[in-house]
Amino acid sequence: MKKQLIFAAFITSACLISCGDKKQQPAPISNANLVQYVDPYIGSGEHGHVFVGANVPFGAVQVGPNNIFKGWDWCSGYHYSDSIVIGFSHTHLSGTGCADLGDIQVMPYTGEIRTKRGEQNNIEGAYSSYYKHENESVRPGFYSLLMDNGVKAELTASERVGFHKYTFPKTEDASRIMINLKEGNDDKAIDTYIKLVDEYTVEGYRISTGWTPHQEVYFTMKSNQPISKIAVFDDDAPKDGNELRTKGVKGVLSFDKPLDEIMLKVGISSVSCANALENLNAEIADWDFNKIISDAEAKWNKELAKVSVETNDESAKKVFYTAMYHAFIAPNLYEDVNGEFRGIDKKVYNTNGKFKNYSTLSLWDTYRTAHQLYTILQPERVDDFVNSMLSIYDQQGKLPIWPLAGGETNQMPGYSAVPVIADAYLKGFTGFDAERAFSAMKSSATNPNQKAIPYLLERGYIPCDKEHEATSIAMEYAVDDWGIAAMAKKMGKTEDYEHFLKRSMYYKTYFDPAIGFIRPKMADGTWRTPYSPIKSVHGVGDFCEGNGWQYTFFAPHDPEGLIGLFGGDDQFVAKLDSLFITEGDLGADASPDISGLIGQYAHGNEPSHHVAYLYSFAGQQWRTAEKVRYIMDHFYTDKHDGIIGNEDCGQMSSWYVMSSFGFYPVNPSNGVYVFGSPLFDKATISLPEGKTFAIEAINNSKENIYIQSVELNGQKYDKGYILHQDIAKGGTLKYYMGKEPNKNFASSPDNRPKSFMN
C-alpha cells in the first residue's frame, strides 16, 4: 500500500451524562458467528504491526508465532513477509511502533537436541523452521501452522493460559520441545530460571528489560505426556541437572519415544510460578483442546455481537469486524485469578475484587477514539481501566504515560490518561473515586518531573531550543488540561476550572499569524527561524511524529478557538483545504509513522485523526463527509496491508468503527460525536439494560456519501453532532443520504458542534 494518496475525489479541495449501571453486561444482539468476518492477517503486512495468533478479548495471553526480529515492522513479533518461525510465545504487542514482549517461547521439533535459533539467512542445524502461508490459518481464538519441519502447531488461549497442541510427523526421531527464555522480541533477558518439577510439570520465569524497563513473567507448564528428561543450557552451553538459573536459559524437553501428539498448557503470572499454576488450574482444568477453542470463539462472538451491521458489501463487513477485533485486543488483563499483580514499583498488589487491573495502555493513541468507543461498546470495563490508571498513579506518583506489563515506558508526549478519565467522569461512570482521580490528574499536570512542565508553569510555553518535540508536548498538554478544566467545572471547582482552562489555551501561543501556522517558539520568545511546516525530524525535532502542517490543526478540544486564529470560517476552511492538497517532501529524517498521506494530512498517525471532522465546526459538514468516506474506502481494506499505519493497540481500528457509524469524538473529553458519513445501511449497537441504538443510512451507497437530513427517534434533527447521552438512552438515528451535498445541513452556528455544550 502506498504511503501517500492524492485526494483527486475532492470536489473543491462537557456533557452531564448518565449511562446507568456500567457494570451490567450489554446483551448481545444475536448469536451470529461473526468471527467468520474477522481476518487477523489484515494489518500484518506493510506497517500495521498487528498481532497474529490466538487470544481472547483483552486477555493477558496472546499466544502466537515469532519470527526473528529484524526491525520496526516486527514490533508484534510477526510480519506477513516472513517465512521463518523460531517459536510460539505467550505475550505480544499489537500495532505498536516499539517492540517488546515475546515471552516464554516454545518450539516443537524432532531429531537431535538443537539449541541454536539460527539467523535469517541460515537456519541449518537450528531448531527453528521455515513455513508457508498456505499451511497457516488464523481466526479469533485459534492459530494453526504446519511447519516445514513436519510439526503441526495449533494454539488457543484463555485469559491467562496458552494452550498448545503439537502433532508430530510419524518418524523414529525423538520429539522435542524447546523452551527458550533468552529469546524475546527485541528486549534483553536479565534473569531467567527453569525447573522440571515432575514428569508433567515445568516452571520458571523470565525477567527482562526493553521498551518496558523491567518485566517479570512467571510460568507453569503442564504436559499431557510424561517428560522423560529436560536438558538445560546457558544459552547454547549445556549444564547439569533439572533446573538452571542464568541470564539466558534454554530448556529442551525430551520424551521416551516418538509421539504423534503433545499438548501443553502454559499459565503465566507477573507474581510467581504458584500463581501461574493457579491461573492454569482455574481457567483450563482439563485437556479438551477443542472446548477451549470453542470457548475463545464464543468470547469473541459475544464482543463482536455488540454491533450488528447490515450491508451488501462483504469486504466492508470484513474490515469492520476485524477492526472491532483489533480494538478489543488491548488493554490487556494484568492480574492473576487471585487478584495479585506486580506493580511498576516491583511490589505485589492485590485488587481484592474491587476492580480488574489492566496494562498495555497506549494512551497517546487510544485517548483519541478507542476509549470513547469503549464507553459505548465496553462500558463494563471503563471503570476498571480508570482504576488501573489510578493504581499506577499510586505506584509511581504520576498517571500512566504508556504502561506496559508492570513497567512505564514514558513513551510519547502528554499525560494522556487525563482525557480518558475526564471523559469517563463526564459520561457518568461512577465506579472510581472522582476526588482521587481529580487529585491525580491535577498532580500529574503540575509534576515538576513530568517532561517540560517547569517551562510550561514558568513561561506558558515550552521553548523548542530547550526540549525536543517541545511544540507537540505543549499542545498535547493543552488537550489534557481541557479535560481537567471540564471535570473541575462539573465538580464545582471554579478556581481549578479557570486555571486549567487558561492552560488549555496555551496552544495559541504557538500560532504565528504572519504565516498562518503553528510555529515552534524559542526561549527568547522569538519564532524558530528558518522554519518549514513540511519538514519533520523524528525524535529530535520540534514535533512528535508530525510536522507543522499537521500540528497547525491540533486543537481538538477547541476548534472554535482555532477557527478564530485564522480569522473566521472561510479562512479556516481554505487553510484546511490546503492541508489535503499540499505536497512536499517531509525529509529523510521524518518518522516512518507519518503515513497515509493525503497532501499533508497523515491518517497513518494519530495527531491527524480528528482533522477531517473540523470542517463541521466551520459549518461545512459536507466537506467532512467526503473526506471521511474517502479515508474509510482507501485506507482500510481487507488485504494484508489493509491498515495504512501502525494499528496502535486499537486506535486506528477504533477510528474506522466510530466513523462507520457516521460520527466521531473530535474533543476526547466532552461526549460530543461529530457527524461524518455513515458507511453501512444499518448498524445496531447493543447497550446495557437490554437497550439498543440503531443507526440507519437511507439511500446509502458508495456515491451517496452526503448527509441530506437526520432524524433522531422519529423527530427532525438539524444538529451536526450527537451527544453520548442520546446514544446511551437507546433509540434510532436515521441519516438520509444523497449524491450531492446539502450545504445547508448543520451549517448554522446553532447546529454546529461545540467544545462546551453548556
Would the pLDDT of 15 be above 50?
no
3-state secondary structure at position 487 = helix
3-state secondary structure 695-742: EEEECCCCCCCEEEEEEECCEECCCCEEEHHHHHCCEEEEEEEECCCC
Find residue 333's DSSP bridge partners.
358
Q: Rounded CA gap, 338 and 353, in Å?
A: 8
pLDDT digits (tens, 9 = 90+) for 105-140: 999 999 999 999 999 999 999 999 999 999 999 999
Would the pLDDT of 18 be above 50?
no
CA geometry: angle 637, 26, 757, nearest 5 deg: 80
Would the pLDDT of 296 be above 90?
yes
Mean pLDDT of 351-369: 98
Would the pLDDT of 2 be above 60?
no
> Identical fold at 46-290 and 305-751?
no
How high is the pLDDT of residue 8?
A: 40
How high is the pLDDT of residue 31?
A: 54
3-state secondary structure at position 135 = helix
Mean pLDDT of 175-196: 98
Q: How far is CA 481 from CA 241, 370, 432, 494, in A?
A: 58, 20, 20, 14
Residue type, 23: K
Would the pLDDT of 583 be above 90?
yes
Would the pLDDT of 29 be above 70?
no
HSE-CB at 37 with a 13 A cutoff on CA atoms is: 26
How high is the pLDDT of residue 11?
A: 36
HSE-CB at 349 with a 13 A cutoff on CA atoms is: 20
Q: Which residues contact 733 (CB under 8 A, 6 or more apart)?
A: 662, 693, 694, 695, 696, 710, 711, 712, 717, 722, 726
How high is the pLDDT of residue 199?
A: 97
How high is the pLDDT of residue 5?
A: 45
Burial, 581: exposed, middle or buried (Cβ in 10 Å; 0-12, 13-18, 19+)? Answer: middle
Give the confidence band of 259 by pLDDT, cuts at 50, 70, 90. Answer: confident
How high is the pLDDT of residue 174?
A: 87
Residue holding cell 543450557?
233
Mean pLDDT of 712-716: 98
Give the confidence band of 161 by pLDDT, cuts at 50, 70, 90. Answer: very high
Would the pLDDT of 24 be above 90?
no
Beta strands (DSSP E) in 593-635 are 597-598, 601-602
How high is the pLDDT of residue 20?
A: 38
pLDDT digits (tens, 9 = 90+) for 510-524: 999 999 999 999 999
User: With DSSP H G I counted as helix, E B as strand and the rest as coil, what are the percentages for the chain, rounded to 5?
Assistant: 30, 25, 50
Phi, psi dihedral angles at 656 (to 5 degrees)? -65, -45
Higher pLDDT, 386 or 1: 386
| Residue 433 DSSP symbol | -
Find residue 167's DSSP bridge partners.
152, 261
Total Cβ atoms within 10 A of residue 208 = 27
Give the confidence band of 142 by pLDDT, cuts at 50, 70, 90. Answer: very high
Would the pLDDT of 9 be above 50?
no
**E strand or H helix at 534, and its extent?**
none
Write down the pTM of the prediction: 0.95
Q: To the nearest whole percent, how much of the chain has pLDDT over 70?
A: 96
Class of domain 46-290: mainly beta
| Residue 688 DSSP symbol | G
Q: How far is CA 490 from CA 14, 15, 179, 252, 300, in A?
A: 8, 9, 54, 60, 37
Can you list the pairs that 70-74 forms with residues at least 24 positions away whose Cβ atoms lie under 8 Å? 70/120, 72/47, 72/97, 72/99, 72/592, 73/46, 73/47, 73/49, 74/99, 74/185, 74/186
Give the chain's mean pLDDT.
Answer: 95
154 touches 164 (CB < 8 A):
yes
Can you say how many angstroms the Cα of residue 259 is from the centroid of all Cα atoms in its chain? 40
Would the pLDDT of 89 be above 60?
yes
Q: Rounded CA gap, 568 and 579, in Å?
A: 17
Q: How far is CA 177 from CA 92, 98, 119, 253, 262, in A?
A: 21, 29, 20, 5, 9
- Angle at which helices 470-491 and 494-504 cross, to 10°: 160
User: Considering just the CA atoms, what is the radius of gyration of the chain in Å?
Assistant: 26
Give the confidence band of 12 by pLDDT, cuts at 50, 70, 90. Answer: very low
**Which fold, 305-751?**
GH92 mannosidase fold (3.30.2080)
What b/e string do you get for 108-124 counting C-beta neighbours within 10 Å, with b at 16 or more? bbbeeebbebbeeeebe
pLDDT digits (tens, 9 = 90+) for 633-680: 999 999 999 999 999 999 999 999 999 999 999 999 999 999 999 999
315: cell is: 469486504
Among residues 35, 24, 608, 682, the alpha carbon closest in space to that of 296 is found at: 35
How high is the pLDDT of residue 23?
A: 45
Can you say how many angstroms the Cα of residue 502 is from the centroid of all Cα atoms in its chain? 31
Would the pLDDT of 4 be above 60?
no
First to last CA, the chain: 44
Whether the link from the prior residue into 226 is cis, omega within 30° of 0, is no
How high is the pLDDT of residue 256?
A: 81
Domains of the chain by residue range = 46-290, 305-751
Residue holding cell 521439533?
109
Would the pLDDT of 157 be above 50?
yes
341 touches 349 (CB < 8 A):
yes
How high is the pLDDT of residue 526?
A: 98
How high is the pLDDT of residue 13?
A: 37
pLDDT digits (tens, 9 = 90+) for 613-645: 999 999 999 999 999 999 999 999 999 999 999
Can you say how many angstroms the Cα of residue 162 is from the centroid of all Cα atoms in its chain? 22
Mean pLDDT of 431-441: 98
Among residues 330, 368, 319, the alpha carbon closest in space to that of 656 is found at: 319
